[in-house]
Amino acid sequence: MDTTRYKRSLTVLAVILMAAALVVPVHAAEFSGDIMQISRGDTTAGKIYVKGDRYRMEITQEGEDIIVIVDPSVKKTIVIPVSLGEYRELATDDFLSLMNDPIQAYGHTVERGEEVMSGTETIGGYECDKYTVSMADSEVMSKWVARDLDFPVRIAMYGHGAKDMIISNITETAVEDSQFTVPDGFKAWVDPESLPGKRPEWAGEIPSAPLLIPPFEMEMSAGNIVRVKVEPGRSLFVRGKSESEAEARVIPFKGDQPAKDEMHYYNFAAEGTMCDRRHELTGEADEFIIRVYKGNVKVMAKWQKMFEATASAGDEIRYPITGTEHITTRIINLTEGNAEATFAYHKGGQPMADNEDIPIKYRTISLKNPWDVNSITRVAKGDEFVITVLEGTMQIKLGQFDSFEF
């Protein structure tokens, strides 16, 4: 799977996803037309099909034919790079969609800026209401909504990265529902990051390798392996020192399979590297395998105490915050379907006003598939970090530590 081409295809959303209303139309307009965008002197053209609030774009970008289908009613975007024979589904309010979809970007901007109706104009024979969003006294985006279609026929983004999209040659005619389904012959894209890593050739040596309990220090040479059992409520910190160029990695294994390909993990023996911190949960891995690939390395390993729990819909995790150190969180989905939770900062037993600075969609953790992982370091505020599970079952690990110390 060529992930570079997929990343490029997702970037193309910024070119083609500029034709949806922010609300469901009062009447279900049906039409097709040409769609063109001008960005930094480059022009990209294609076709658009609209039925109510659903729309489909067909465009060619850098030689790649791309179909994009958007259904705001179910918050779903489908991206189909035709030559790959695969499609990818994204939530329309997913961060990636938000960054690449001007419709979502417009709504996001409205939440933080000020929107006004700034006049009326005629575009392509349609009388349009123009709306403009300003932030810090500067206009940042505008849209022109055709009254007869209740649908934008132009969207402009100003400033750095300015773009201008126009729909033209509109034909008001019925659009078949089949336009908004994935064409036959395409299969769902599987994120390589979601797949287990390739089993290394040296994996057969693991069963006979020493099983150690942190903390420990030991000298290791190229090819040497040691094992550490994953323990609940603990993260493994590993540091390496060497007198010459060296390479060493910590790889989580589940059974005889690495969680990711071995080169996915840090070389903790590289010059200037403080350490590697492995937060994998017991549901993800059985053992941490420490292996030296090159040179002679003094390996130091220790445990970092963490909070760990399993929580289901309706459960609330309240983690006491101490000091100002950031909060490292790792959450996995233990459900066959969707799992979802929200987080908030509390002080004195009450939600903080700071939560309002982070819209709820950015404080929502959605894991759509079994064993999906959300791993991030968050700012510490107040005296409690509260996670509320809304759906499914999750395994949750939380902790605070000085990231500049081993």
pLDDT digits (tens, 9 = 90+) for 353-386: 888 878 787 899 999 888 899 999 998 999 999 9
Residue 171 placed within a domain: yes
Last residue of a domain, one of 189, 221, 242: 189
- My answer on whether omega of the bond before 214 falls inside 30° of 0, hence cis, is no
Please give the Cα distance from 287 to 360 (Å, whole number): 36
| Secondary structure element (H or E) that encloses residue 307, with its range | strand 307-312
Confidence label for 99 from pLDDT (cuts 50, 70 and 90): low
| Secondary structure element (H or E) that encloses residue 153, with its range | strand 151-157
Query: Domains in the chain: how many in total?
Result: 3
Please give the Cα distance from 58 to 34 (Å, whole number): 10
| Secondary structure element (H or E) that encloses residue 46, with its range | strand 42-51
Q: What is the pLDDT of residue 96?
A: 58
Specify whether 171 is located in the same domain as 225. Answer: no
Q: Is the pLDDT of residue 185 over 60?
A: yes
Is the model more confident about 403 or about 28? 403
What is the pLDDT averaged over residues 206-232? 97
Q: What is the pLDDT of residue 192?
A: 67
Residue 196 placed within a domain: no
Specify whether 42 is located in the same domain as 133. Answer: yes
Specify whether 301 is located in the same domain as 311. Answer: no
Q: Is the CB of residue 8 less than 8 Å from the CB of residue 60?
A: no
Q: Is the pLDDT of residue 241 over 80?
A: yes
Residue 405 placed within a domain: no
Confidence label for 400 from pLDDT (cuts 50, 70 and 90): very high
Specify whether 161 is located in the same domain as 28. Answer: yes
Between 24-28, 133-137, 138-142, 172-176, the lowest mean confidence (pLDDT) is in 24-28
Please give the Cα distance from 37 to 104 (Å, whole number): 17
Q: Is the pLDDT of residue 204 over 70?
A: yes
Last residue of a domain, one of 258, 281, 305: 305
How are the residues of the chain apportioned to helix, strand and coil, as percentages rounded to the nearest 5?
A: 15, 50, 35
The model carries a pTM of 0.59
Specify whether 18 is located in the same domain as 113. Answer: yes
Q: Of 40-49, 179-188, 287-296, where does the model show the most confidence?
A: 287-296
Residue 406 placed within a domain: no
390 Cα distance to chain centroid: 20
Q: In this structure, what CATH number is given to the domain that contains residue 245?
A: 2.60.120.380
Please give the Cα distance from 396 to 306 (Å, whole number): 10
Residue 57 placed within a domain: yes
Specify whether 141 is located in the same domain as 11. Answer: yes
Residue 195 placed within a domain: no
Please give the Cα distance from 154 to 219 (Å, whole number): 65
Please give the Cα distance from 284 to 7 (Å, whole number): 27
Specify whether 318 is located in the same domain as 301. Answer: no
Q: Is the CB of residue 150 less than 8 Å from the CB of residue 26?
A: yes
Residue 58 placed within a domain: yes
Specify whether 13 is located in the same domain as 129. Answer: yes
- What one-character-per-residue DSSP string does 224-260 give? -EEEEE--TTEEEEEEEE-SS--EEEEEEEETTEESS
Please give the Cα distance from 376 to 399 (Å, whole number): 11
Burial of 165-201, coded b for 16+ CB within 10 Å and e otherwise, reads bbbeebeeeebeeebbeeeeebeebeeeeeeebeebe
Specify whether 31 is located in the same domain as 162. Answer: yes
**Residue 367's domain spans which residues?**
307-400
Q: In this structure, what CATH number is given to the domain that contains residue 49?
A: 2.50.20.10
Confidence label for 288 from pLDDT (cuts 50, 70 and 90): very high
Q: What residues have CB less than 8 Å from 283, skipping those under 6 apart?
A: 332, 334, 371, 395
Tell me the percentage of the chain whose pLDDT exceeds 70. 89
Is the model more confident about 279 or about 354? 279
Specify whether 165 is located in the same domain as 249. Answer: no
Specify whether 298 is located in the same domain as 311. Answer: no
Specify whether 269 is located in the same domain as 380. Answer: no
Q: Is the pLDDT of residue 173 over 80?
A: yes
The β-bridge relationship of strands 86-91 and 138-146 is unpaired
Residue 87 placed within a domain: yes
Q: Where does 52-113 show beta strands of DSSP type E?
A: 54-61, 64-71, 76-81, 86-91
Last residue of a domain, one of 305, 330, 363: 305
